[in-house]
Chain A
Amino acid sequence: MKSSKFWVGVLAVSALFGVAVTYWLGLFVTPPDVIQGQLVRLLYIHPSVAWVAYLAYGVTSVGSILYLWKRTRSLKWDRLAAASAEVGVVFTALTLITGSIWGRPTWHVWWTWDARLTTTALLFLLYLGYLALRKVPAPRDKIAVRSAVAGLVAFIDVPIVHQSVVWWKTLHQSATVFNASLSPKVHGEMAWTMLVSFISFTLVYLWMTIKRYQIETNIDEFDNLEVEAAIAERLREVDGLVNSKASSGTREGGPKDGGSIS
């Protein structure tokens, strides 16, 4: 068995290789579209980064539920939820940015307040709020509980974003791949390149989330070490105090612990 570090490395290399292949297929191999011309090449990045955002928030929700459920409650689920949400926010921002860059030459506007764009902007802000909420100082388990609730509330917007093009009249086109009949309206090399881009960006997501999760774990471990060090230091002080007071005849009870996390 190789170490997990090795497999994360393999994942990283595959993700970067996949993105490189996507670029090569998307920019050099695939043909221009009959109407959009070269602008069609957005198809190989925008839908896949949007998919990763959905996936990331889905994982955040799963992590949140597993944390809230008493039987599976563990900070590792909270760390996973946090890591995934952070990557999700990055990919939502990428979705908005790539869409806007494409919208200008295709639609003729950078932005418009149609249902798809508006609900996506909401999604970005909701999870940005989730990340900000995590920064409000509180005991560690309290942070985890309130984030889990916030993460689940924010997820309500994900199906709304996806269905927005069906429920309302929008400038944004309807789904090409995940449509009601599940028959992608894109063919040949274009479809294959799209598939490669979906896989590649999903690998990038996995890699980024694992790395982010490891950082979260390190922070928790570091905090615990600091608390332990503070306790040890405090106990030494108390010992000294007790000894000096014992010699003068007064004795006070020593505290059970001396550390606190704010």
Chain B
Amino acid sequence: MAELAKVDTKNEPTAGEGVDWKTVKSLRSKSATATKAIVVLLLIAAALAFVIYKGISNAIQYFYTAQQAVAQKAQLGSKTFRLEGIVVPGSIKDTQSGVDFEVRFANTIVPVVEIGSPPQLFQPTIPVVLVGHFQGNYFWSNQIMIKHTANYVAAHPNRIKNAGGGS
């Protein structure tokens, strides 16, 4: 079976004059020509290059913790970056343009001015990643992303008879 498939046009014996050779196209490549397949491969390669570029410029240092950001405040200047911290309970105040609050990482607290409405899961003690920049002592953010933990706890623990040691 496989042996037959190995037959290559280059190795065909020389045909007698006036003999037309028949080429049997594989069902596999009936709809695909070399050009078409190579164009698709090039498009995929371009997409790969784009994703790798985005990854290198964003994913390696995806965010600075509030502590790192404050430590590197001078270098960061007014550059836009992502800042991570936990929303400090009692610090959330609604404003006309959005919401003011504080985020904390270890012992460092950063006051935040958020322009725009916060996401539905925004609440005290939730970890957030903010996109924005420093301006004075404040971090001006225009996007809040919720960084969810990997823990899942039922909202009605009484529905689970033995929650396997869950609190």
Contact = CB atoms under 8 A, between A and B. Distances in A.
Check if A and B associate.
Answer: yes
Contact of A107 (B24, B44, B146, B166): B146
Nearest to A250: B16
Interface string A174-194: 111001000001111111000
Interface in A228-260: 228, 230, 233-234, 237-238, 241, 252-253, 255-260
Contacts, number: 238
Interface string B41-52: 100110110011
Given A187-B166, A252-B16, A168 B150 contact: no
Interface stretch (B29-37, B85-93, B95-103): B29-37
Contact of A31 (B25, B26, B33, B154): B154
A124 to B, nearest CB: 9
A31 B159 contact: yes
Nearest to A109: B145
Interface residues of B, number: 75
Contacts of A134: 28
Interface of A: 30-37, 39-40, 43, 74-75, 105-109, 112-115, 118-119, 121-122, 125-126, 128-129, 132-137, 139-141, 143, 164, 168-171, 173-176, 179, 185-191, 219-224, 226-228, 230, 233-234, 237-238, 241, 252-253, 255-262
7 contacts: A37-B155, A112-B145, A115-B55, A140-B2, A187-B153, A188-B161, A262-B9
